[in-house]
Structure 1
C-alpha cells in the first residue's frame, strides 16, 4: 500500500493525473449512458449500441492509461512500441465488447456482475499490454501481490458499476455507475503502477518501431478528443432518444389513462411494474401501494380486509406458472358486485400483462337478449323455441315408466274479445290467462305461450292418463272463470288437445302435431272441452287439408250454386220470401253439405268471396220473381267485418236492379259481440238503404234483450232447436210463446225455422208466429225450381 501511495504522490505529475482523471470520468459517463441505451434497445440496434459503447470505453481506458503514463516520472526517457500500443487498444475495445454484451443481454444480476468483471478484465489487459509497449534503458519487474490487487480492484469496481447502472435508468444511478467505473479504471492503473520495479540497464536499446513520449502525447490527446467527440455524439443521440422516449411515454401514459379497460404489467416474479388508474379504481386498490410490490402481497392485504376470498398463494402461483409456460388465460371474477373479465397475456422474457374489463352491463344485456329470444314478451312465459327445448329435455329425462303429456290450448272466442274491446284489453287478458296457467300446473310442469292465443303445457312424471285428464279439466275450469279487466267482465273458454308419450309420439314435433290434431277435434266438438289424440285424427286432418285445397279450387272453378228455401206466411200459407242457401256441387263428391265446408270457409276467409257470390246471385235471381216475394241472404260474422260489405250490397243491388226493400240480410248474434259501435253503424247504413235486417238463431247464443233495444230488427228468426221440441218439451213452447209475444209487442216479424210437420205448424199458428220455413214446405232447391215452389201451396219433403 505504501509503495502505491509513494508512486502516486512522488512519481506522477498531478496536472497530467488530473487530465487523465477528467478524460476517464467523461469516458465513463459516456459508457454508462450508452450502456443504458443498449439495454433499452432490441434486435440489430442493440449490437450497434454495444459496439459504440465498447469503442468509447476502450478508447477512454487507453487514453487514461497513456495520459497517466506521461505523468509518470520514470517514463520521460522512454518510448512506446507502436504494434504493442495498438494491440493494447484493440484488447481494451474487444474485451470490453464481450463484457458489455454479457451484461446487456441478461436481466439476471449474476450475469450483469459477470459482464462488469469482464469489462474490468479488459482494463487490466489493456494496462499491462500498454506497459509492455514501454521501451526504456531499464528492466521492468512486477510485485505479484500488487498486480493481483490491481486486477481485482478493476474487476470488482467495474462489476459494481454495471450492476448499479442496470438497476434503474435515472440520474442518481447513472452518476453512481459513472463514479464506480471511473474508480475501476483509476484504481487499477495507479495500483498497477505501484507494482512496477525499474532496474536501470544501459544495454537495453529502444527499437525502431517505437514512438517518443511527445508524439505519444499527441496521439493520446487525439484519442481523448475522439473520446470526447464520441461521447458528445452519443450524449446527443441519447438525449434525442430520451426526448423521443419521453414523448412516447406521454403518449403511452395518455393512452393508458384513457383506456376503458384496466391494465397492469407484472415481471417474471409477479411484481407490479406498471398499471393505470382504471385498474386501481376498478379493483378498489387506489389506497394501496402497488408499484414494485408482489401481487401476492396485495392479495394477502385484501384477504386481511375480507375483500379477497380463496387461497391467495395458490391463485398467484397459477398466474406465475401460466406466464412462464406461455399460456394466455381468461377468467371472469366478481369483485364488489361487478363482473370483471381478466385476460392474462404472457410477455417475452418473463412476466405478463393483465387487462381488466367490467362486463357487468354486457352480461346483463346478453342475459336479457337471451331471455327475450326464448320467452314471450307479453306474458314472460317460455316461447315456442324454449318450449321445444324443454320438451326435448323432458323426453330425455323421462324414465321408462313415466308418462309425458303435451297439452295444446286455444282460447275460445278470444278474437271476438280482441276486436270488440281492443288489443290492450286482449293483451291484459292473455297475461292473466298466463298467470292462471302457471298457478294451476304442477311444480315440475312447463307452461309456454306459442303465439296469439295459443298456449301449451308439458306434464312430466305422471304414470297414468288420468293425471293428464285431471289437469285438462282443471285448466278448462280455471280459464273459464270470469275475468275483471278495466271494468270489463270477460268470460272466455278454452279448448285443449292432449297427446301422450310414448304412445302418441317420441319426439317434440310429433307430440305437438298430435296435440294440435286433438285440439282441432275439441274445437269441432263444441269448444270449452278437451280431447285426447286418437289415431284417426290424423286421417281426418289430412281429409280436412284436402277439402281446403278443393274449396280454394272450387272458388276458381265456379262450382258453387245458390239454392232457395221458401218462407211462408203462417196465416195465409202463401210464399212471402226465399232464403238463399249456398251449395257446393263437387265434380267427384257431388253436393257437399254446408256444415262440411262453411266453417272451413270461415276459418280460411274464403267465406267473404262465397258470401259475395250468394248475394249477387240472390239479387239477380230475385228480379225474375214476383215483386211481393223477397229474398233473404245470410251474412257470416267474418263477412260482416269486411270493410267492403256496404259496397258489396250496393253493387249487388245496382247490378241486378233489385229494389233494396226486397233484400233481407240475416245476421247471427255473434256479429253483435264484435265492436258494437261499428256494428250498429253498419246496420244503420244498411237500413238507410232500405235493406231489412233479420236476427237469425235468436235465443241460442249470447242473446240479450238489449240487442233488440239497441237496434230495431225487422225480423227475429226462432232457431230450429226450439221448433223440433215443441210437442215434447214445455220449456221450448214457453220460449216460442215469449219470443212471438215479444215480436208482436215490438212490431217485429217472427219466423220459425225447421218446421217439419203439421203439428209444429199448428202450434206456431196458435202462438201467433208470423212466418215459417222448413222441410214441411220444401227442401232448398235451385233457382230453376222457384216457379214450381210458388205455384204449389205445399211441397212436402221428408227431413
Structure 2
C-alpha cells in the first residue's frame, strides 16, 4: 500500500493525473449513458449501441492509461511500441464489448454484474498490454500481490458499476454507476503502477517501432478528443431519445388514461409494471399500492376483505401458466355487480397485458335485443320464433305416453272493435287477452302471440284428448267474458283450432298448419267455439285456395253477373223494385251460388271488386227499366269500410244516368257495429244524394232499436227465417206483427224476404207488411229476362 501511495505522490505529475481522471470520468459517464440506451433498444439497434458503448469505454480506458503514463516520472525517458499500443486499445474495446453485451442482454442482476466484471477484466487487459508497450532502458518487474489487487479492484468496481446501472436509468443510478466505473479504471491503473519495479540497464535499446512520448501525447490527445466527440454525440442522441421517449410516454399516458378499457401490464413473475386509472377504478383498487406489487398479493388482500371469490393461488397460477404458454384468454367475471370482460394477452419475453372492459350495459342491451327478437312487444308473450322453438323442445321432451296439443286462437270481431274504438283500445284489449290466456293455461304450457289477434298455446304432458278439450272450453269461456277498458264494456269471442301430437303431426310446422285448418273450421261453424283437426280439412283448405285463385281469374274473365229478383208491393200486387243478387257463371262448374263464394270474397277482400261490379251493372240495367221501378244492391261490411264508397256510388249513378231515388242500398246490422260516427256520416251522405237506405236481415244478429233511432232508414227487411215459419209458429207471426207495426209508426217500409207460398203472402198482407219478395213471385233471373218477369207478374196480378 505504501508503494502505491509513494508512486502516486512522488512519481506522477498531478496536473496530468487530474486530466486523466477528468477524461476517465467523461468516458465513464458516456459509457453508462450508452449502456442505458442499449438496454432500451432491441435487435440490430441494440448491437449498434453496444458497439458504440464499447468504443467509448475502450477509448476512455486507453486514454486514461496513457495520460496517466505521461504523468508518470520514469516514463519521461521512455517510448511506446506502436503495435502493442494499438493492440492494447483493441483489447480494451473488444473485452469491454463482450462484458457490455452480457449485461445488456439480460435482466438477471447476477448476469448483469458478471458483465461488469468482464469490463473490469478488460481494464486490466488493456493496462498490462499497454505496459508491455512501454520501452525504457531498464528491466520491468512486478509485485505479484499488488498486481492481483489491481485486477480485483477493476473487476469488483466494474461489476458494481454495471450492477447499479442495471437497476434503472434514474439520475442517482447513473451518477453512482459513473463514479464506480471511474473508480474501477483509476484504482486499477494506479494500483498497478504501484506494482511496477524498474531496474535501470543502459544496454537496453528502444526498438525502431516505438513512438516517443511527445508523439504519444498527440495520439492520446486525439483519443481524448474522440472520446469527447463520441460522448457529446451520445449525449445528444440520448437527449433526443429521452425526449422522444418522454413524448411517447406523454402520448402513452394520455392514451392509457383516456381508454374506455382498464389496462394493466405484468412481468413474467406477475408483478404490476403499469396500469391506468380506469383499471384501478373498475376493480376498486384506487386506494391500494399497485406498481411493483405481485398480483397474487393484491388478490390475497382482496380475499381477506371478502372482495374476491375463489382461490387466489389457483387463479394466479393459471394466469402465469397461460402467459408462459403464450395463450390468449378471454373471461367474463362479475365484480361488484358489474360484468367485466378480461382479455389476457401474453408479451414477448414474458409477462402479459390484461385489458378490462365493463360490458354490463352491453350484455343488458344484448339480452333486451334477444328478448325483443323472441317476444311480442305489446303483450310480452313469446312471439312466433320463440313459440316455434318451445314447440320443438316440447316435442323432444314428450315421452311415449305424453300428448302435446297445439291450440291456435283467433279473436272474433276484434277488427270491428279496433276500427270502431281505435287502436289504443284494441291494443289494451290484446294485452288483457294475453293476461287472461296466461292465467288460464297450466304452468308448463306456453302462450304466444303470433301476430294481430292470433294467439297460440302449447299444452304438454296430458295423456288424453279430453285435457285439450277442457282447456279449449275454459279459454272460450274466459276470453268471451266482458272487458272493461277505458270506460268501454267490450264483448268479443274466440275461435280455436286444435291439433294433437303425434296423431296430427310430429313436427312444429305440421302441427301449426293442422291447428290452423281446425281454426278455419271453427270460424266457419259460427265462431265462438273450438274444433279438433280432422282428416279432410287439408283437402278443404286446398279447395278453398283453388276457389280463391279461380275467383280472381273469373274477375278477369267477366264470369260474374247480377241476377234480379222482383220485390212486390203487397197491397197493389205490382213490382216496385228488383234486388240485384250476384251469380258466378263458371265455365265448367256452371252457376255457383253466392253462399259458396261470398264469405271467401269477404275474407280475401275481393268483395270490394265484386261489389263495384254489381253496383255499376245494376245501375246500368235499372236505367233501362220503367221509371217507377227501382233496384236494390247489397253492401257488405267490408265494402262499406272502403273510403271510396261515396265516389263509387256517385260514379255508378252518373255513368248509368239512373236517378238516385231509384237506387236502394241494403246494409246489414254488422255494418252498424263498426265505427258508428263514421258509419252514420257515410249513411247521411248517401241519403243526401237521394239514395234510399235499407236495413237488411232485421231481427237477427245484433238487432237494436237504437239503430232505427240513430238513422232514419227507408226500409226494414224482415229475415226469411221468420217468414218460413209463419204458418207453424205463433212467435214468428208476433215478431212480424211487431216489426210491421214499428214500420208503420216510424213511416218505414217493411219488406218480407223468402215468401214461397200464397199462405205466407196472405198472412203478411193481413199483418200489414208493405212489400214481399221470394220464389212465389220469381227466382232470381238475369237482366235479359226482367221484361218477361214484369209482363208475367202483371198478368198474374190481373188474373
Structure-2 residue corresponding to 1:579:
579
SS of structure 1 residue aligned to 2:199: strand
Is residue 2:785 matched to residue 1:779?
no
The TM-score with structure 1 as length reference comes to 0.97
Q: Which moved more, 1:142-151 or 1:232-241?
A: 142-151
Structure-1 residue corresponding to 2:400:
400
Change (3 A) 1:260 1:414: same
Structure-1 residue corresponding to 2:241:
241
1:562–1:617 contact (8 Å) kept in structure 2: yes
Is residue 2:177 matched to residue 1:211?
no
Is residue 2:516 matched to residue 1:516?
yes
2:493–2:528 contact (8 Å) kept in structure 1: yes
Change (3 A) 1:603 1:170: same
Q: Distance in 1 between matches of 2:96 and 2:204?
A: 34
Q: Which moved more, 1:702-711 or 1:638-647?
A: 638-647
Is residue 2:553 matched to residue 1:543?
no
Is residue 2:699 matched to residue 1:723?
no
Q: CA deviation at 1:425?
A: 1.0
Backbone CA RMSD of aligned residues: 1.8
Q: CA deviation at 1:485?
A: 1.0
Q: Which moved more, 1:566-575 or 1:235-244?
A: 566-575
Q: Deviations over 1:714-769 (max 9, x none)?
A: 11111112222333334333322222221121111111212223333333233222
SS of structure 2 residue aligned to 1:496: strand
Q: CA deviation at 1:795?
A: 11
Q: CA deviation at 1:162?
A: 1.0
Q: CA deviation at 1:793?
A: 4.3
Alignment of 1:274-673 (within 5 A): 274-673=274-673
Structure-2 residue corresponding to 1:744:
744
Change (3 A) 1:794 1:443: farther
1:778–1:795 contact (8 Å) kept in structure 2: no
Q: Deviations over 1:454-513 (max 9, x none)?
A: 111111222221111111111111111111111111111111111111221122211111
1:668–1:695 contact (8 Å) kept in structure 2: yes
Q: CA deviation at 1:31?
A: 0.2
SS of structure 1 residue aligned to 2:443: coil
Consecutive aligned runs of 4 or more in structure 1 exceeding 4 Å deviation: 793-796
1:776–1:795 contact (8 Å) kept in structure 2: no
Q: Distance in 2 between matches of 1:371 and 1:794?
A: 74
Q: CA deviation at 1:198?
A: 2.8
The TM-score with structure 2 as length reference comes to 0.97
Q: Distance in 2 between matches of 1:620 and 1:193?
A: 140
Q: Deviations over 1:765-799 (max 9, x none)?
A: 33222222222222212223323332334999xxx
Q: Distance in 2 between matches of 1:270 and 1:455?
A: 59
Structure-2 residue corresponding to 1:127:
127
Q: Distance in 2 between matches of 1:401 and 1:11?
A: 117
Q: Distance in 2 between matches of 1:594 and 1:795?
A: 31
Q: Distance in 2 between matches of 1:688 and 1:77?
A: 144
Q: Deviations over 1:298-328 (max 9, x none)?
A: 2122222222222122112211111121111
Q: Distance in 2 between matches of 1:444 and 1:166?
A: 71
1:717–1:750 contact (8 Å) kept in structure 2: yes
Q: Deviations over 1:322-349 (max 9, x none)?
A: 1121111112222222222222111111
Q: Distance in 1 between matches of 2:87 and 2:730?
A: 142
1:755–1:775 contact (8 Å) kept in structure 2: yes
Question: How many residues are treated as equivalent by the alignment?
Answer: 796
Q: Distance in 1 between matches of 2:774 and 2:91?
A: 134
Change (3 A) 1:795 1:267: farther
Change (3 A) 1:378 1:795: farther
Q: Deviations over 1:35-86 (max 9, x none)?
A: 0111111222211111110011001111111222223333333222111111
Q: Distance in 2 between matches of 1:495 and 1:423?
A: 21
Is residue 2:226 matched to residue 1:226?
yes
SS of structure 1 residue aligned to 2:642: coil
Q: Which moved more, 1:210-219 or 1:482-491?
A: 210-219
Q: Which moved more, 1:719-728 or 1:313-322?
A: 719-728
Q: Distance in 1 between matches of 2:732 and 2:115?
A: 121
SS of structure 1 residue aligned to 2:447: strand
SS of structure 2 residue aligned to 1:572: coil
SS of structure 2 residue aligned to 1:106: coil
Is residue 2:221 matched to residue 1:253?
no
Q: Distance in 1 between matches of 2:129 and 2:729?
A: 143
Q: Distance in 1 between matches of 2:76 and 2:402?
A: 116
SS of structure 1 residue aligned to 2:166: helix
Q: Distance in 2 between matches of 1:529 and 1:570?
A: 41
Q: Distance in 2 between matches of 1:471 and 1:542?
A: 29
Q: Which moved more, 1:345-354 or 1:667-676?
A: 345-354
Q: CA deviation at 1:550?
A: 0.7
Change (3 A) 1:732 1:143: farther
Q: Distance in 2 between matches of 1:57 and 1:436?
A: 92
Q: CA deviation at 1:97?
A: 0.7
Change (3 A) 1:593 1:6: same
Is residue 2:80 matched to residue 1:80?
yes
Q: Distance in 2 between matches of 1:381 and 1:198?
A: 109
Q: Which moved more, 1:197-206 or 1:672-681?
A: 197-206
Q: Distance in 2 between matches of 1:222 and 1:568?
A: 141
Q: Distance in 2 between matches of 1:614 and 1:779?
A: 18
Q: Distance in 1 between matches of 2:795 and 2:345?
A: 99
Q: Distance in 2 between matches of 1:227 and 1:654?
A: 116
Alignment of 1:682-693 (within 5 A): 682-693=682-693
Structure-1 residue corresponding to 2:148:
148
Structure-1 residue corresponding to 2:101:
101
Q: Distance in 1 between matches of 2:453 and 2:391?
A: 20
Q: Deviations over 1:99-135 (max 9, x none)?
A: 1111111122222122111111111111111111122
Q: Distance in 2 between matches of 1:365 and 1:758?
A: 77
1:425–1:485 contact (8 Å) kept in structure 2: yes
Q: Distance in 1 between matches of 2:625 and 2:238?
A: 118
2:574–2:794 contact (8 Å) kept in structure 1: no
Structure 1 residue runs of 5 or longer lacking an equivalent are none
SS of structure 2 residue aligned to 1:163: helix
Q: Which moved more, 1:753-762 or 1:590-599?
A: 753-762
SS of structure 1 residue aligned to 2:779: coil
Q: Deviations over 1:348-379 (max 9, x none)?
A: 11111122222222222222222222221111
